[in-house]
A = this chain, B = another copy of it.
Protein backbone atom coordinates (compact mmCIF):
# COMPACT_ATOMS: atom_id res chain seq x y z
CA UNK A 1 0.00 0.00 0.00
CA UNK A 2 1.27 3.46 -0.89
CA UNK A 3 2.20 5.71 2.01
CA UNK A 4 0.16 8.84 2.63
CA UNK A 5 1.87 11.80 0.98
CA UNK A 6 2.69 15.07 2.71
CA UNK A 7 1.04 18.15 1.18
CA UNK A 8 3.02 21.39 1.23
CA UNK A 9 1.98 24.99 0.92
CA UNK A 10 4.26 28.04 0.73
CA UNK A 11 2.73 30.68 2.96
CA UNK A 12 3.77 34.24 2.31
CA UNK A 13 2.30 37.15 4.26
CA UNK A 14 3.71 39.90 2.25
CA UNK A 15 6.86 38.24 3.42
CA UNK A 16 6.42 36.82 6.83
CA UNK A 17 5.00 34.76 9.58
CA UNK A 18 2.96 35.64 12.66
CA UNK A 19 4.46 38.23 14.97
CA UNK A 20 7.32 38.92 12.62
CA UNK A 21 7.37 42.68 12.39
CA UNK A 22 10.70 43.30 10.78
CA UNK A 23 11.34 40.54 8.26
CA UNK A 24 12.61 43.16 5.82
CA UNK A 25 15.73 43.52 7.97
CA UNK A 26 16.92 40.17 6.53
CA UNK A 27 19.34 41.26 3.80
CA UNK A 28 18.45 38.18 1.75
CA UNK A 29 14.88 39.46 1.34
CA UNK A 30 14.12 42.42 -0.96
CA UNK A 31 13.08 45.19 1.44
CA UNK A 32 10.00 45.78 -0.74
CA UNK A 33 9.16 42.06 -1.04
CA UNK A 34 5.50 42.48 -0.11
CA UNK A 35 4.82 44.63 -3.19
CA UNK A 36 7.45 43.09 -5.48
CA UNK A 37 5.83 40.80 -8.03
CA UNK A 38 9.20 39.61 -9.31
CA UNK A 39 10.09 38.34 -5.85
CA UNK A 40 6.77 36.49 -5.63
CA UNK A 41 7.32 34.93 -9.05
CA UNK A 42 10.78 33.73 -7.98
CA UNK A 43 9.37 32.18 -4.81
CA UNK A 44 6.49 30.54 -6.70
CA UNK A 45 8.86 29.03 -9.24
CA UNK A 46 11.19 27.82 -6.50
CA UNK A 47 8.23 26.24 -4.67
CA UNK A 48 7.05 24.66 -7.92
CA UNK A 49 10.51 23.25 -8.63
CA UNK A 50 10.28 21.69 -5.15
CA UNK A 51 6.85 20.25 -6.12
CA UNK A 52 4.88 22.23 -3.53
CA UNK A 53 1.11 21.86 -3.73
CA UNK A 54 0.35 25.53 -3.41
CA UNK A 55 1.18 29.16 -2.70
CA UNK A 56 -0.96 30.63 0.08
CA UNK A 57 -1.53 34.40 0.28
CA UNK A 58 -3.10 35.92 3.39
CA UNK A 59 -4.65 39.37 3.60
CA UNK A 60 -6.09 42.22 5.62
CA UNK A 61 -8.05 45.36 4.69
CA UNK A 62 -7.05 47.51 7.62
CA UNK A 63 -3.75 48.71 9.05
CA UNK A 64 -2.62 50.41 12.24
CA UNK A 65 0.74 51.43 13.61
CA UNK A 66 0.91 48.00 15.25
CA UNK A 67 0.74 46.12 11.96
CA UNK A 68 3.85 44.20 10.89
CA UNK A 69 5.83 46.22 8.37
CA UNK A 70 4.91 44.02 5.42
CA UNK A 71 1.17 44.45 6.20
CA UNK A 72 1.45 48.22 5.74
CA UNK A 73 1.99 47.82 2.04
CA UNK A 74 1.11 44.70 0.11
CA UNK A 75 -0.50 43.42 -3.04
CA UNK A 76 -4.15 42.35 -3.08
CA UNK A 77 -4.06 38.51 -3.09
CA UNK A 78 -6.05 37.62 -6.22
CA UNK A 79 -4.42 40.34 -8.33
CA UNK A 80 -1.07 38.87 -7.31
CA UNK A 81 -2.10 35.25 -7.89
CA UNK A 82 -3.23 35.91 -11.42
CA UNK A 83 0.27 37.17 -12.22
CA UNK A 84 1.69 34.01 -10.66
CA UNK A 85 -0.76 31.83 -12.63
CA UNK A 86 0.84 32.68 -15.96
CA UNK A 87 4.35 32.45 -14.48
CA UNK A 88 3.94 28.82 -13.26
CA UNK A 89 2.34 25.61 -14.53
CA UNK A 90 1.57 23.24 -11.67
CA UNK A 91 1.51 24.95 -8.30
CA UNK A 92 -1.87 25.76 -6.69
CA UNK A 93 -2.78 29.41 -6.04
CA UNK A 94 -4.74 30.06 -2.86
CA UNK A 95 -5.91 33.58 -2.07
CA UNK A 96 -7.63 35.08 0.95
CA UNK A 97 -10.86 37.00 0.38
CA UNK A 98 -13.04 38.08 3.28
CA UNK A 99 -16.74 37.21 3.25
CA UNK A 100 -17.40 40.25 5.44
CA UNK A 101 -16.63 42.90 2.82
CA UNK A 102 -16.97 41.24 -0.58
CA UNK A 103 -20.16 40.30 -2.41
CA UNK A 104 -20.59 36.62 -3.33
CA UNK A 105 -21.08 37.43 -7.01
CA UNK A 106 -17.76 39.28 -7.25
CA UNK A 107 -15.92 36.60 -5.26
CA UNK A 108 -17.37 33.84 -7.43
CA UNK A 109 -16.34 35.63 -10.62
CA UNK A 110 -12.85 36.54 -9.54
CA UNK A 111 -12.00 33.07 -8.29
CA UNK A 112 -13.58 31.37 -11.29
CA UNK A 113 -11.52 33.65 -13.52
CA UNK A 114 -8.32 32.77 -11.64
CA UNK A 115 -9.29 29.12 -11.92
CA UNK A 116 -9.58 29.35 -15.71
CA UNK A 117 -6.45 31.49 -16.10
CA UNK A 118 -4.46 28.96 -14.05
CA UNK A 119 -6.17 26.02 -15.83
CA UNK A 120 -7.62 24.61 -12.62
CA UNK A 121 -5.25 25.68 -9.82
CA UNK A 122 -7.24 28.24 -7.79
CA UNK A 123 -8.13 28.05 -4.12
CA UNK A 124 -10.09 30.38 -1.83
CA UNK A 125 -9.08 30.94 1.78
CA UNK A 126 -12.43 31.91 3.29
CA UNK A 127 -12.14 34.33 6.20
CA UNK A 128 -14.26 36.77 8.16
CA UNK A 129 -12.87 40.17 9.15
CA UNK A 130 -12.21 40.26 12.89
CA UNK A 131 -10.62 43.69 13.03
CA UNK A 132 -13.32 46.17 14.04
CA UNK A 133 -11.48 48.97 12.22
CA UNK A 134 -12.10 47.28 8.88
CA UNK A 135 -15.74 48.43 9.04
CA UNK A 136 -14.57 52.03 8.75
CA UNK A 137 -13.04 51.30 5.36
CA UNK A 138 -16.33 49.88 4.05
CA UNK A 139 -18.96 52.54 4.86
CA UNK A 140 -20.19 50.70 7.92
CA UNK A 141 -20.61 52.41 11.30
CA UNK A 142 -20.34 49.17 13.22
CA UNK A 143 -18.30 46.07 12.96
CA UNK A 144 -20.30 42.88 12.30
CA UNK A 145 -20.70 40.94 15.53
CA UNK A 146 -19.29 37.46 15.85
CA UNK A 147 -22.52 35.58 15.05
CA UNK A 148 -23.31 37.74 12.03
CA UNK A 149 -19.79 37.31 10.69
CA UNK A 150 -20.04 33.53 10.83
CA UNK A 151 -23.60 33.47 9.51
CA UNK A 152 -22.55 35.60 6.56
CA UNK A 153 -19.51 33.43 5.92
CA UNK A 154 -21.46 30.17 5.85
CA UNK A 155 -24.11 31.55 3.52
CA UNK A 156 -21.52 33.37 1.39
CA UNK A 157 -19.59 30.18 0.65
CA UNK A 158 -22.78 28.35 -0.28
CA UNK A 159 -23.85 31.11 -2.66
CA UNK A 160 -20.43 31.23 -4.29
CA UNK A 161 -20.43 27.46 -4.78
CA UNK A 162 -23.96 27.66 -6.13
CA UNK A 163 -22.89 30.30 -8.66
CA UNK A 164 -19.98 28.09 -9.72
CA UNK A 165 -22.60 25.58 -10.84
CA UNK A 166 -24.31 28.04 -13.20
CA UNK A 167 -23.02 26.18 -16.24
CA UNK A 168 -22.80 22.40 -16.49
CA UNK A 169 -19.48 20.96 -17.67
CA UNK A 170 -20.58 20.55 -21.29
CA UNK A 171 -22.75 23.68 -21.57
CA UNK A 172 -20.56 25.34 -24.20
CA UNK A 173 -21.05 23.44 -27.44
CA UNK A 174 -19.23 25.89 -29.71
CA UNK A 175 -20.14 24.00 -32.86
CA UNK A 176 -19.35 26.20 -35.85
CA UNK A 177 -21.05 23.76 -38.24
CA UNK A 178 -24.44 24.05 -36.50
CA UNK A 179 -23.90 27.59 -35.19
CA UNK A 180 -24.66 26.48 -31.63
CA UNK A 181 -22.49 28.25 -29.03
CA UNK A 182 -24.33 27.32 -25.83
CA UNK A 183 -26.78 24.61 -24.89
CA UNK A 184 -29.21 26.83 -22.95
CA UNK A 185 -30.65 23.84 -21.05
CA UNK A 186 -27.29 23.61 -19.27
CA UNK A 187 -27.35 27.19 -17.97
CA UNK A 188 -29.01 27.59 -14.56
CA UNK A 189 -29.99 30.54 -12.41
CA UNK A 190 -29.46 30.29 -8.67
CA UNK A 191 -32.44 32.32 -7.35
CA UNK A 192 -31.01 32.33 -3.84
CA UNK A 193 -32.93 34.25 -1.15
CA UNK A 194 -31.16 33.98 2.19
CA UNK A 195 -30.74 35.77 5.47
CA UNK A 196 -27.69 37.76 4.37
CA UNK A 197 -27.65 37.56 0.57
CA UNK A 198 -30.07 37.33 -2.32
CA UNK A 199 -28.49 36.37 -5.61
CA UNK A 200 -30.38 35.50 -8.78
CA UNK A 201 -27.49 34.48 -11.03
CA UNK A 202 -26.42 32.87 -13.25
CA UNK A 203 -22.68 33.53 -13.11
CA UNK A 204 -21.18 34.56 -16.46
CA UNK A 205 -18.30 32.10 -16.42
CA UNK A 206 -17.83 28.41 -17.11
CA UNK A 207 -16.42 25.69 -14.88
CA UNK A 208 -12.67 25.06 -14.85
CA UNK A 209 -10.74 21.81 -15.39
CA UNK A 210 -10.95 21.15 -11.63
CA UNK A 211 -14.69 21.89 -11.50
CA UNK A 212 -14.48 24.53 -8.78
CA UNK A 213 -11.75 26.29 -6.80
CA UNK A 214 -10.60 24.52 -3.61
CA UNK A 215 -12.02 25.92 -0.35
CA UNK A 216 -9.57 26.68 2.49
CA UNK A 217 -10.67 27.74 5.94
CA UNK A 218 -9.17 28.62 9.30
CA UNK A 219 -10.96 29.35 12.57
CA UNK A 220 -10.48 27.49 15.80
CA UNK A 221 -13.71 28.46 17.58
CA UNK A 222 -16.74 26.13 17.69
CA UNK A 223 -18.56 27.92 14.82
CA UNK A 224 -15.23 28.10 12.98
CA UNK A 225 -14.72 24.35 13.25
CA UNK A 226 -18.31 23.62 12.24
CA UNK A 227 -18.05 25.87 9.22
CA UNK A 228 -14.77 24.23 8.22
CA UNK A 229 -16.07 20.70 8.65
CA UNK A 230 -19.16 21.58 6.63
CA UNK A 231 -17.67 23.44 3.71
CA UNK A 232 -13.87 23.33 3.55
CA UNK A 233 -11.61 21.13 1.46
CA UNK A 234 -8.55 22.17 3.46
CA UNK A 235 -8.26 23.47 7.03
CA UNK A 236 -5.49 25.92 7.86
CA UNK A 237 -4.64 25.86 11.57
CA UNK A 238 -1.80 26.11 14.05
CA UNK A 239 -0.57 23.18 16.14
CA UNK A 240 2.15 23.61 18.73
CA UNK A 241 2.67 19.88 19.35
CA UNK A 242 1.99 16.55 17.69
CA UNK A 243 -0.64 15.73 20.35
CA UNK A 244 -2.42 19.04 19.81
CA UNK A 245 -2.36 18.33 16.08
CA UNK A 246 -3.81 14.86 16.55
CA UNK A 247 -6.65 16.15 18.72
CA UNK A 248 -7.59 18.81 16.16
CA UNK A 249 -7.26 16.32 13.29
CA UNK A 250 -9.62 13.83 14.98
CA UNK A 251 -12.07 16.58 15.88
CA UNK A 252 -12.37 18.01 12.37
CA UNK A 253 -12.46 14.67 10.57
CA UNK A 254 -15.10 13.51 13.08
CA UNK A 255 -17.26 16.58 12.46
CA UNK A 256 -16.94 16.02 8.70
CA UNK A 257 -17.95 12.36 9.08
CA UNK A 258 -21.02 13.42 11.08
CA UNK A 259 -22.04 15.55 8.12
CA UNK A 260 -21.79 12.57 5.79
CA UNK A 261 -18.49 13.67 4.26
CA UNK A 262 -15.53 11.43 3.44
CA UNK A 263 -12.89 12.42 6.03
CA UNK A 264 -10.14 11.83 3.47
CA UNK A 265 -11.63 14.68 1.43
CA UNK A 266 -10.91 17.31 4.07
CA UNK A 267 -7.22 17.98 4.66
CA UNK A 268 -5.56 19.45 7.77
CA UNK A 269 -2.58 21.68 6.94
CA UNK A 270 -1.26 23.75 9.86
CA UNK A 271 1.21 26.56 9.41
CA UNK A 272 4.81 25.69 10.24
CA UNK A 273 8.01 27.63 10.74
CA UNK A 274 11.12 25.74 9.72
CA UNK A 275 14.75 26.38 10.68
CA UNK A 276 17.30 24.10 9.09
CA UNK A 277 20.94 24.10 10.22
CA UNK A 278 24.03 21.96 9.77
CA UNK A 279 23.26 20.39 13.13
CA UNK A 280 20.33 20.62 15.53
CA UNK A 281 22.30 23.07 17.66
CA UNK A 282 23.16 25.20 14.64
CA UNK A 283 19.48 25.30 13.66
CA UNK A 284 18.55 26.59 17.12
CA UNK A 285 21.15 29.34 16.74
CA UNK A 286 19.62 30.31 13.40
CA UNK A 287 16.14 30.41 14.92
CA UNK A 288 17.40 32.61 17.73
CA UNK A 289 19.18 34.91 15.28
CA UNK A 290 16.05 35.47 13.20
CA UNK A 291 13.88 35.80 16.28
CA UNK A 292 16.00 38.69 17.49
CA UNK A 293 16.10 40.24 14.03
CA UNK A 294 12.36 40.04 13.29
CA UNK A 295 10.75 40.91 16.59
CA UNK A 296 10.28 44.10 18.59
CA UNK A 297 8.59 44.19 22.02
CA UNK A 298 7.16 47.62 21.36
CA UNK A 299 5.41 46.48 18.17
CA UNK A 300 4.50 43.15 19.73
CA UNK A 301 2.65 45.00 22.51
CA UNK A 302 0.61 46.91 19.93
CA UNK A 303 -0.10 43.79 17.89
CA UNK A 304 -0.97 41.89 21.08
CA UNK A 305 -4.03 44.15 21.25
CA UNK A 306 -5.32 42.82 17.92
CA UNK A 307 -7.02 39.72 19.38
CA UNK A 308 -8.62 42.08 21.91
CA UNK A 309 -10.20 44.37 19.31
CA UNK A 310 -7.00 46.46 19.11
CA UNK A 311 -7.30 47.26 22.80
CA UNK A 312 -4.55 49.67 23.87
CA UNK A 313 -2.37 47.76 26.32
CA UNK A 314 0.19 50.54 26.63
CA UNK A 315 -2.09 52.10 29.31
CA UNK A 316 -1.19 49.33 31.79
CA UNK A 317 1.85 48.61 33.93
CA UNK A 318 3.75 45.88 32.12
CA UNK A 319 4.75 44.25 35.39
CA UNK A 320 1.33 44.30 37.08
CA UNK A 321 -1.02 41.29 36.79
CA UNK A 322 -2.58 40.78 33.37
CA UNK A 323 -5.67 43.06 33.09
CA UNK A 324 -8.52 40.55 32.76
CA UNK A 325 -11.01 43.35 32.03
CA UNK A 326 -9.40 43.71 28.59
CA UNK A 327 -11.21 40.53 27.51
CA UNK A 328 -14.42 42.57 27.21
CA UNK A 329 -12.93 44.40 24.24
CA UNK A 330 -12.39 41.08 22.44
CA UNK A 331 -16.10 40.14 22.29
CA UNK A 332 -16.61 41.02 18.64
CA UNK A 333 -13.02 40.43 17.61
CA UNK A 334 -10.82 37.31 17.90
CA UNK A 335 -12.45 36.12 21.12
CA UNK A 336 -11.28 32.49 21.08
CA UNK A 337 -7.63 33.44 20.84
CA UNK A 338 -7.98 36.29 23.36
CA UNK A 339 -9.75 34.10 25.89
CA UNK A 340 -7.07 31.44 25.63
CA UNK A 341 -4.42 34.02 26.48
CA UNK A 342 -6.45 35.59 29.32
CA UNK A 343 -7.31 32.22 30.90
CA UNK A 344 -3.74 31.06 30.69
CA UNK A 345 -2.54 34.32 32.24
CA UNK A 346 -4.94 33.88 35.19
CA UNK A 347 -3.93 30.27 35.75
CA UNK A 348 -0.24 31.09 35.69
CA UNK A 349 -0.50 34.43 37.48
CA UNK A 350 1.14 36.21 34.53
CA UNK A 351 1.98 39.89 34.39
CA UNK A 352 1.05 41.75 31.20
CA UNK A 353 4.66 41.43 30.01
CA UNK A 354 4.56 37.68 30.54
CA UNK A 355 1.22 37.41 28.74
CA UNK A 356 2.61 39.28 25.73
CA UNK A 357 5.61 36.96 25.67
CA UNK A 358 3.23 33.99 25.92
CA UNK A 359 1.11 35.39 23.07
CA UNK A 360 4.22 35.62 20.91
CA UNK A 361 4.78 31.92 21.49
CA UNK A 362 1.27 31.01 20.33
CA UNK A 363 2.63 30.39 16.92
CA UNK A 364 2.82 27.48 14.56
CA UNK A 365 4.77 24.33 15.29
CA UNK A 366 8.40 25.11 14.58
CA UNK A 367 10.55 22.40 13.08
CA UNK A 368 14.07 23.21 14.11
CA UNK A 369 17.05 20.99 13.41
CA UNK A 370 19.34 19.46 10.85
CA UNK A 371 17.70 18.47 7.56
CA UNK A 372 17.51 14.88 8.80
CA UNK A 373 15.80 15.95 12.03
CA UNK A 374 13.30 18.21 10.26
CA UNK A 375 12.39 15.56 7.66
CA UNK A 376 11.99 12.95 10.39
CA UNK A 377 9.72 15.16 12.50
CA UNK A 378 7.55 16.15 9.56
CA UNK A 379 7.14 12.52 8.54
CA UNK A 380 6.29 11.64 12.16
CA UNK A 381 3.51 14.26 12.24
CA UNK A 382 2.11 12.88 8.99
CA UNK A 383 2.26 9.28 10.10
CA UNK A 384 0.75 10.06 13.50
CA UNK A 385 -2.21 11.63 11.66
CA UNK A 386 -1.58 14.98 13.28
CA UNK A 387 -1.58 16.58 9.82
CA UNK A 388 -2.06 15.93 6.13
CA UNK A 389 0.57 18.52 5.32
CA UNK A 390 1.98 21.91 6.26
CA UNK A 391 1.78 25.49 5.11
CA UNK A 392 5.35 26.64 5.49
CA UNK A 393 6.05 30.28 6.35
CA UNK A 394 8.41 31.71 3.79
CA UNK A 395 10.06 34.47 5.74
CA UNK A 396 13.78 34.05 5.21
CA UNK A 397 14.92 33.14 1.69
CA UNK A 398 18.09 31.44 2.91
CA UNK A 399 16.01 29.07 5.01
CA UNK A 400 13.58 28.35 2.18
CA UNK A 401 16.59 27.45 0.01
CA UNK A 402 17.85 25.02 2.60
CA UNK A 403 14.43 23.47 3.04
CA UNK A 404 13.95 22.85 -0.67
CA UNK A 405 17.52 21.66 -1.30
CA UNK A 406 18.08 19.57 1.81
CA UNK A 407 14.76 18.53 3.41
CA UNK A 408 12.65 17.81 0.32
CA UNK A 409 14.99 15.07 -1.00
CA UNK A 410 14.93 13.36 2.41
CA UNK A 411 11.12 13.43 2.46
CA UNK A 412 11.16 11.89 -1.00
CA UNK A 413 13.60 9.17 0.13
CA UNK A 414 11.23 8.31 2.93
CA UNK A 415 8.43 7.94 0.39
CA UNK A 416 6.25 10.59 2.04
CA UNK A 417 6.56 13.27 -0.66
CA UNK A 418 5.92 13.24 -4.39
CA UNK A 419 8.70 13.08 -6.97
CA UNK A 420 6.50 14.52 -9.71
CA UNK A 421 3.14 16.35 -9.86
CA UNK A 422 0.19 13.95 -10.09
CA UNK A 423 -1.61 16.08 -12.66
CA UNK A 424 -2.13 19.68 -13.60
CA UNK A 425 -4.86 20.91 -11.21
CA UNK A 426 -4.77 21.76 -7.51
CA UNK A 427 -7.43 19.13 -6.80
CA UNK A 428 -5.25 16.49 -8.44
CA UNK A 429 -2.25 17.52 -6.34
CA UNK A 430 -4.29 17.42 -3.13
CA UNK A 431 -6.11 14.20 -4.02
CA UNK A 432 -9.50 15.93 -3.89
CA UNK A 433 -12.33 14.80 -6.13
CA UNK A 434 -14.07 17.17 -8.54
CA UNK A 435 -17.32 18.43 -6.99
CA UNK A 436 -20.50 17.27 -8.66
CA UNK A 437 -22.31 19.99 -10.58
CA UNK A 438 -25.65 20.47 -8.83
CA UNK A 439 -26.99 23.42 -10.74
CA UNK A 440 -29.48 26.02 -9.71
CA UNK A 441 -29.37 25.63 -5.98
CA UNK A 442 -27.25 26.40 -2.97
CA UNK A 443 -25.38 23.27 -1.99
CA UNK A 444 -26.12 21.60 1.32
CA UNK A 445 -23.54 19.22 2.60
Contact = CB atoms under 8 A, between A and B. Distances in A.
A360 interface: no
A237 interface: no
Contact of A174 (B31, B102, B187, B196): B31
Contact of A198 (B106, B139, B179): B139
Interface string A66-103: 00010111111011101101110000000000000111
A61 B86 CA distance: 25
B105 A103 contact: no
Interface string A140-159: 01000000000000000000
A239 interface: no
A315 interface: no
B69 A182 contact: yes
Interface string A17-30: 00000101101000
A309 interface: no
A181 B182 CA distance: 54
Contacts of A75: 113, 116-117, 205
Contacts of A37: 85-86, 116-117
Contacts of A71: 204
A184 B138 contact: no
Interface centre among A31, A41, A72, A112 (most CB of B within 10 A): A72
A21 B160 CA distance: 28
Nearest first, the 8 closest Cβ-Cβ pairs linking A and B are A136-B200, A82-B82, A79-B113, A31-B174, A76-B113, A69-B181, A105-B137, A83-B86
